[in-house]
Amino acid sequence: MSSLDSLISNTIRSDVRAINGYHVADASGFVKLDAMENPYHLPEHLLQELGQRLAAVTLNRYPVASYASLKQRVCQQLGVPAGYDVILGNGSDELISILDMACAHQDRRAVVLAPTPSFVMYQRSAQFAGMDYVGVALKADLSLDLPAMLAAIAEHRPALVYLSYPNNPTGNLFAESDIVAIIEALGETGIAVVDEAYEPFAQQSFMGRLPEFPNLVVMRTVSKLGLAGIRLGYMSAAPQLLAQFDKVRPPYNINVLTQAAAEFALEHVDVLNEQARALRAARSELAQALAALPGVTVFPSAANFLLIRVPDADDAYVKLLADKVLIKNVSKMHSVLANCLRITVSTPEENSVFLAAITASLAA
């Protein structure tokens, strides 16, 4: 063993050494349908105006750490209840980390609980924060197993329960009544985090219900709305609870270019909303076309992606790669996802390319 190996062994946590890093596939030259991005750009005249706005940003000074103007726009434009504020993060990932760090007690082992399969960062962030993670399997139809969730809450008394709404990678909306039952079961001992990353496509939200539940956090991102590149997430909760999370947030976690771009985009949120509307329509068309293919099962989706089951997911994935179409093979994530693929809904042109490629792969 080299001296560097010894250094790593003596200083880096064993559980960190044992896992792989978060892998992001190189999409160069591919039709990219693996990351749930909005495929549309802003109109040319808005891009030019945005360029001028960004050119005027003061790069030599730190951001104003309160982000008051951006937070005000988020609250006004994105449905945050009156009297409620938001915390901003470098995407949803940082918000999850903030929540976990704030709830990771040093004097006792704290627990994060979530349905599984769901967003992988719930488990990974919990691990990095030194918390225990408990996953509760979805039912075969991909719905929440409410009795199992409630039993796990009673047994483990989690500090945080993450509920992706709609869920990634399955795309479905969990029953609203099930989520309410979980929030109520947590009571004063746990916080329910409803992750609404795909709200522009679901058109359903718990944001307006924040005043009903003091232990509810609603988290969102602008990534799926068409701004994945600027890395901006936001979350809201009861003001006293939000103030505790804000203590954990790094003081300059949103850079000035992200702030300027986000403020500009929110001035033109109607353009982004129209793109989301077009993608919702394309989702229905793509789902119908896929359902007509032999051997393909299409699961209901309220997100900007579709989950499908094919006879052989590994074979289909490899053939799609050969045709330069990149999707997500989720078939190994969990037994309920056996032979499942996840496909981002894109432009009519890219959807057509994917449909031709998947049709050919199934026929071969």
Measured in whole angstroms, the distance separating CA 311 from the mean position of its chain's CA atoms is 28
Looking at the whole model, is its pTM more than 0.85?
A: yes
Give every CB contact of residue 242 below 8 A, 6+ residues apart in sequence. Answer: 84, 85, 86, 87, 235, 236
pLDDT at 21: 80
For the chain, the 3-state helix, strand and coil shares in percent, each to the nearest 5, are 45, 15, 40
Cα 73 from Cα 222, distance rounded (Å): 13
CATH of 62-267, one of 3.30.70.2190, 3.40.640.10, 1.10.760.10, 3.30.479.10: 3.40.640.10
Question: Consecutive 10-residue runs of the chain (364 residues): their mean pLDDT?
Answer: 90 89 80 95 95 95 90 95 97 97 93 98 96 97 98 98 98 98 97 97 97 98 91 97 97 95 95 96 98 97 98 97 97 97 98 97 86
Cα 92 from Cα 119, distance rounded (Å): 11
CB contact at 8 A, 224 and 36: yes
Sheet containing 340-344, strands listed edge to edge, beginning at the edge strand earlier in sequence: 297-298, 305-309, 340-344, 328-329
Tell me which long-range contacts 22-30 makes (C-beta under 8 A, separation of at least 24): 22/120, 22/124, 25/326, 27/326, 29/324, 30/321, 30/324, 30/325, 30/326
Give every CB contact of residue 162 below 8 A, 6+ residues apart in sequence. Answer: 96, 112, 113, 114, 118, 119, 122, 193, 195
CATH of 15-42+270-363, one of 3.40.50.920, 3.30.460.20, 3.90.1150.10, 3.30.420.240: 3.90.1150.10
pLDDT at 1: 77
Q: How far apart, in Å, are the Cα atoms of 246 and each of 71, 85, 243, 362?
A: 13, 11, 5, 50
Phi, psi of 59 (to 5 degrees): -85, -20
Pair type for strands 87-89 and 233-237:
antiparallel
Tokens for 350, please give them: 């890219």
pLDDT at 51: 96
pLDDT at 225: 86
Phi, psi of 337 (to 5 degrees): -105, 20
Quick: pLDDT tens for 255-266. Answer: 999 999 999 999
Pair type for strands 233-237 and 216-221:
antiparallel
Q: By C-alpha distance, which of 159, 107, 152, 109 is closest to 134?
A: 152
What residue ranges of the chain are covered by domains with CATH 3.40.640.10? 62-267
**CA 158, 160, 166: angle at the middle one, nearest 5?**
125
Cα 88 from Cα 109, distance rounded (Å): 27
**What single string gives the DSSP state of each residue in 275-332?**
HHHHHHHHHHHHHHHHHTSTT-EE---SSSEEEEE-S-HHHHHHHHHHTTEE-EE-TT
What residue ranges of the chain are covered by domains with CATH 3.90.1150.10? 15-42+270-363
pLDDT at 311: 97
CB contact at 8 A, 184 and 206: no
CB contact at 8 A, 268 and 42: yes
